[in-house]
Each structure stands twice: as structure tokens, then as C-alpha cells.
Structure 1
Amino acid sequence: MKQFQPGQPHLRNPRSGWPRCRQLPWAYSPLASALAGCLALATGAQAAPYVETGKLGDAASWRSAEFKADWGLGAIHADSAYAAGYTGQGIKLGIFDQPVYAQHPEFAGSDKVITLVTSGIRQYTDPYIPVKAGDAFRYDGTPSVGSDGKLGSHGTHVGGIAAGSRDGGAMHGVAFDAQIISAENGDPGPEDGIILGNDGAVYKAGWDGLVASGARIINNSWGIGITDAFAKGGRDPAFPHFGLSDAQAQFSQIRPLLGTLQGGAYDGAINAARSGVLTIFAAGNDYNLNNPDAIAGLGYFVPEIAPQWLTVAALQQNPDTSSAEPYTISTFSSRCGYTASFCVSARVHGSTAP
């Protein structure tokens, strides 16, 4: 239901279908903003025009320093995809998250990021942010500010991992030629298992806008989460851990909301998949003895959407360097569990992102 900053593995962190990696925090101050702008302009003025060295049919030619900055690109064999001609060209990639900061240098270029403007009247009173049912909302890409005074950067972070430009800079995203469609969900965190924690009107507006934009894929780094009763169980088999029966209990609360404005978060996800959009949800940040929550598992509970549904668990580099397996499940990630038939795993730790 909610989101925090990426890269802090504990129970109530945000989730990322495009798994999270290292980032530099933004300080919210006019001075910091001015310095960032000056540095970006200076970098642009001094950099030579980028010349792509990657060639069709030659995977090795794509392994530039920029490529190697993120070990995850090699882990998923992105170089082979590029050599086969798959770079995201012509694909609209929806990021349903905090807003993607379109002025970030990694998103330079004409219409690299399209920001959707959504508005309406809230359905819920949120216990974590100062809003209540009946309040008007409007999201236009303006960065949110957390209680720590920093700009909310999770959407930018996810957007960079997914589609940051390949331009000879510090890093590039997996589908570097894709266009990003950014919609804000308005939730700063945390995820605590409350079914009515995702404002139906806010989420419906975002889902509707993303589908109407022509997005082929919509990534979601949010969810319901699970209650604190399973916090220890996610790491210790001696304690209860979240399983299929618990997810079924969550879905039994979701089902009556379908078709209502209160259920906009869930209806929107189901309808997006029904319309042919590949709908991606993170498995969760609830530690790896736990299963995904019910929204990440909607492809299980609504089988007709399973072909357009993808749940994503997080991998890290194996700390046991003597192991034949180079990667292992992240310490904080939920496992695929009951979503195994439509779930994949990808890297998280030690990567670089905006």
C-alpha cells in the first residue's frame, strides 16, 4: 500500500518489480537543487556526443563500462538481447510509483519521460499522510517531500533501472530505448497488510491514465504488504510465515471491493492485465520465508489474467564466492511461492541507478 526510499531492506520498505539498487539521496533545498542543475548543465556542455559501439549479432560489443556498472545487466544477459535487436525501442513503459523526475540527466532527450496528470476526490483517510476522504488530489510530477526533508526518489530510481538512457554516462537501464510513462500513486508508506490502504480514486486515476497512454508494460513497486505477525517468520522457520491461506484471506477482503470505486487499486490492476498490458508487481520486501501478498498474486486468484501478469522476486550476488551459484534470493525479498508459475527473479544489490 505504501512506499519508502529504496535500498533499505526491512519489513516496511517499498517494493520494486524492477529491483532496487544503490542511489544518491536528494536533499530538498534550493541550494542543492541549484547545484544539481549547474552540474547537469556543465556535464552536458563538456561531454562529447555519444557514439554507440554495440552491434547486432555481437553481444560482447554491448559490454561497455556503462553496461558493466550494473552487474545485473550481465546477470540477465541483457547484452544478448541487445545483440538481437531488443533495446526497448518503440515500447512505452509505465512506472506507477512516486513520479519519475523527467529532468534527471539519465532521462535526457525529447519525450523520454511523459508525466501523466491525474486528479479526483479521495476515498480514504490515510493514517500516514495528512489527507482524508473527500479531499481533492492532483498529481502532476511534482516531487513529493518526505518527513526527512528529502525528495521522494523511488520512482526516479525505478525508472533509471528500467529505462535509463545509454549515453556513455554512469549507468543505463535494461530497456534503455523505451519511453517512460510516469503516474504517481500518492502513497509514501508503509505496507502493513491493510486492504483499504490504497486509495481507490487515486489508483483508479493512475491505472486509467497509464492504460490510455498506450503503455505496454506497467511496473508496480507497491502492494498491500503483510501484518507484523509474520515479521519474524519471514526470517526464522520457527515462527509463522505468510502463506497461500493468508493470501487467500486477503483476497476474500478484496473480492467485494471489485467493481467499486473503493476497489480502484485492485480493479485497475485486473483491468490493465485484461486489456493486454503486461502488469508487473514486486513479490514484496517481507523476507524470504514469506509468500507474496494478494495483490502481487492476483494472477493466481484471477486466473484469466495470469498470461499478462508477472510477479518479481529479488536476487543478490551470492556472498559465498565458492558456490557454483553466483546469485541467491535477497535477504529481504519475499519468495515467489504460490505465484511461481508467473514469477521471475532478478538482481538488486550492488547495482547503480539514478
Structure 2
Amino acid sequence: MDPYTSFQILSGDRPKYTGKKLVMLSPDASMQKIDEEASGAALRLAPSSAYRSHEEDYQKAFTEADGIVFEKFRVAVINANHDEQVKSLLYSQRSFQYEEPERYLYALEGVRSSNLLWQFICRLFGIRRDPPGAGPGPAPKDPPPVAPPVFENTAEAYWGLNALGALSGSFTGKGVKLAVLDTGMYLAHPDFEGREVVAKSFIQGESAEDAHGHGTHCAGIAVGGVRGNSGIRYGTASDAGLYVGKVLSNEGVGSDSGILAGMEWAVSQGCRVISMSLGASVEENTRYSNIYDELAGIAMDMGTLIIAAAGNDSHRNQGIIRAVNHPGNCPNIMSVGALDRRSDVADFSCGGLNPDGGLVDIAGPGVEIFSSWKLPQKYAILSGTSMATPFVAGVAAQLLEAFPEATAREIWDKLISHSRPLPLPGRDVGSGLVQSPQ
């Protein structure tokens, strides 16, 4: 990434497009024929399968090749300086279907708990209201006749797991492979000692180690166990196999090509669930990505359910609701909104504004969530749809343990049908609060 782009990102001026193109290939496209034609035209289109076993080579393919073809998904990413040549080649092969610009994607960071300081102040002075940004938002004009449930931290588990009903069930995701595509993982975290963790980086020049923290936090929610020796549980599918794909840099930034690489890798590894707490903001009345939607459908046909965060762009206490982010706005990707411990929609959680796709499908705990973090801190409390998403992914792994023969589409249906209805608009929370199988 060039220094100017890094400055833009760090200064808050986030670029949207990389200059590359995503191309959807026809179902009968032949990688062998494409490669032969490319060689004749002095172009290098790298098949993703040739790079999976060597991390450094895989990373180089994105910068040194003229394009890379993700064979499982029938998607090509074409570098800007050769896009017309490659498209002409694909047209001649009758392999070209349609194209989209490649986007930058970002870790969907919510409210960091400086709220730890707020909690200390509350305890010191006896304050009993929520910290800034964590409240339930404006009360509805006509309050529901039955008050929604309120969840608390207990000696057994943090409130998010209590909201799922996770302690009432016996399923822990055992035997299920779950992928977290994010900023990587702090692999030496003591709470993961002895666990099955497979990690791979798709970021040029960076290992799978998480120098950001976001990925470690999401992984802990999805498949973590208990906090140190305290016995307090914070992870959902605590016996699932964890597959970590680093698709966002240590600055929390990635692009479609890295995301696609991580998704294809996860599918190739046999992961039944992919959790993605990442995205790019979308304007109202904007259509979802056809390419992501198509490949998510392909992944489901292969047995893998993709779950993504709805986004944190809203300011509901100011009357502002923003549209569900890319790629969670795709109909074939399960989009997750965030709830607070009072079962109300989080102030920042995006809503299903776009009628053609872009719905919130389900909701999970997403305000003041405790989980693992990079050392030396070890733990952090964060808020965001980023936190809600791995809760849903963890429950999906629990359901796959309970119903090992179920297809990805059947697991989607079970997540929806087993969720806890809430007296809130489906636009904001979809089918309701995700629930663990009993």
C-alpha cells in the first residue's frame, strides 16, 4: 500500500476503490485455455491454486501478476495497467460475464472501551446509567406490552453468552471448522493454548500475527473458551477448529482480492462457517455486489455459510440510520446487526434500507463485549456489529455439531427459525436475537 493511501486511511479519509477490476467468469470458463491465451499475449494470470501452499508466493501473486483467478469462485482480479488486455482475452474465450471495481474494505471497529474507564468511574461514584454510545437509543412511541429481556454478566459467563442461552445447551462446535477472516490472530494467546488454530496471511509483507487486535477479539467471541483461570466463559463455540485468514492489514485495511483469497482458502480447508467482521460503507439505494453474492451462493453449495457484519455507520440517537455495508448487504451472505444487553438495537448498527438486498438477517450481542486481545493487554471490551457477527458464526458451528448432515442453507434457516423474536423492526434486527441450540 502506498504512503498516500496509508495517510488517507489513518486520517479518516477512506478511499473506496483500488483501481483493479473484479471479473465474473462464465460457468464453463477453462483456466487452462485462459492461461494458454494469456501466455500468448505476454500476460500472466495466476491461478490461485498454484499459490495456496506457499504464503509468500500467494501474497506476491497479487502484486507481480497481471491478474489472479480464483478458480473455485470463477472470479478474476485484474490489475489496472492490463485490464483492457485481459478483458479482451476473456471476451475472446467467451469467459467474461461482467465486472465490478475492486473495493477497499475495513475492520468494522465500534466503540473501544475507554468504557473500561467509564465503568471504573461508575463504580467509584455510584453512577447507574450506560456509558456514552452504549445506550438503547430513543424509546419507541408505543412501548411493547412485554419488556424485552435484560442480560447480565454472571460468574459463569459474560452477558453475550447468556443472551444466546449458550450455557443451557451442550453444543460447543466440536468437529466443525470455523474461519475468521480479519486482522489475523495473536497466536500465542494463553486462552488458546492447546487449541487447533490454522493461520494464513493474505496481506503482502505481514504474517498472520495480529498487531491490530480486532481479529483476536472476534476469534475469541466465535471460538474462545474461558478467561484465564477465572472460569468465566466468553467464547461461543469453544471446541470448534479455528482457521484464521489475515485479510486485513495491521492498520485494519484490506481489499476485495485479499478477502476473496481468504474465502477461497477457507472453503478449500473445509470450513463450514466463515465470519467476516469487515466491510465498506454503502449509500442508500445502492445495489449489492453481484460478484460477492454469486460466489457466496457457490460457497453455500459447497457447504460453507458466510456471515458478515451489517456495519457501524448509524447514529440512531441522532435519528441517522445508514445502509448495511458491503459485503453483508448481499442476499447470499447472512448480515448481522448488533444489540445491547437490554435487547435493544445498538446506536451504531446499520439498518436494512435497500429493498433490493441489503437486509439485516439476524442480530447478536454487540455492545460492551468482552473477549481476547493482543498482548500485553490480553483482553478488551469492544462494541460493534463486528462483535455480533462472531456470536452468530459460533452458533452456526454449534448447529452444525447438532446437525452434522445439514447443508449451509439449512443452517441459515435454523439460525433464523431458532432466533428469539424481539419487539423491534425487522429492518434493524432481522429475525431477532440468535440462540444456541438446546
Q: Normalised by the shorter chain, which TM-score bucket?
A: 0.5 to 0.7
| Residues 108 and 311 in structure 2, CA contact (< 8 A), matched pair in contact too | no
Pick from 210, 215, 237: which aligns with 1:155? 215
Question: 1:102 and 1:208 mapped to 2: Cα distance?
Answer: 22
Q: CA RMSD in A?
A: 3.2
Partner of 1:217: 273
Per the alignment, residue 21 of structure 2 pairs with none
Which of 155, 161, 183 is matched with 1:65 structurally? Answer: 155
Of residues 325, 329, 334 in structure 2, which corresponds to 1:293? 325
Given that residues 215 and 277 in structure 1 are in contact (C-alpha distance below 8 angstroms), is that contact kept between their aligned partners in structure 2? yes
CA shift, 1:140, in A, is: 3.4
Q: Structure 1 or 2: larger strand share?
A: 2
Specify the structure having the higher radius of gyration (Cα): 2
Cα separation, 2, equivalents of 1:21 and 1:86? 34
Instruction: Give me the TM-score of the superposition, normalised by structure 1.
Output: 0.55
The residue identity in structure 2 corresponding to 1:290 is R
Identity level (%):
25
Of 169, 176, 186, 2:238 maps to 176
1:328 match: secondary structure: coil
Deviation string, structure 1 residues 269-288 (Cα, Å, up to 9, x no partner): 45323422111011111115
Normalised by the size of structure 2, how large is the TM-score?
A: 0.45
Residues 313, 334 of structure 1: 8 Å contact kept: yes
Deviation at 1:212, TM superposition (A): 0.9
Q: CA deviation at 1:189?
A: 6.5
Q: Which fold has the larger relative contact order, with Cα–Cα distance below 8 Å and residues 6 or more apart in sequence?
A: 1
Cα drift, residue 223 of structure 1: 1.4
Matches within 5 A, 1:243-262: 243=284, 246-248=285-287, 251=288, 254-255=289-290, 258=291
Q: Which residue of 2 aligns with 1:2?
A: 105
Q: Matches of residues 234-273 of structure 1 in structure 2 within 5 Å?
A: 242-243=283-284, 246-248=285-287, 251=288, 254-255=289-290, 258=291, 269-273=296-300
Counterpart of 2:174 in structure 1 is 89
Distance 1:200 1:270, change over 3 A: farther
**1:157-188 per-position Cα deviation (integer Å, ceiling 9, x unaligned):** 00111111247535430111111100011346
Aligned residues: 225
1:15 aligns with: none
Retained in 2: the 8 A contact 1:23–1:352? no
SS at match of 1:353: strand
Given the alignment, which residue of 356, 368, 388 partners 1:350?
368
Secondary structure of 2:335's counterpart equals strand
Deviation, 1:141, is 1.1
Structure 1: 5+ residue stretches without partners:
10-19, 25-62, 120-136, 144-150, 192-197, 227-241, 259-264, 300-304, 318-325
CA contact (8 A) 1:92 1:180 kept: yes
Please, which runs of 5 or more residues in structure 2 have no aligned partner?
Answer: 1-103, 118-152, 373-438
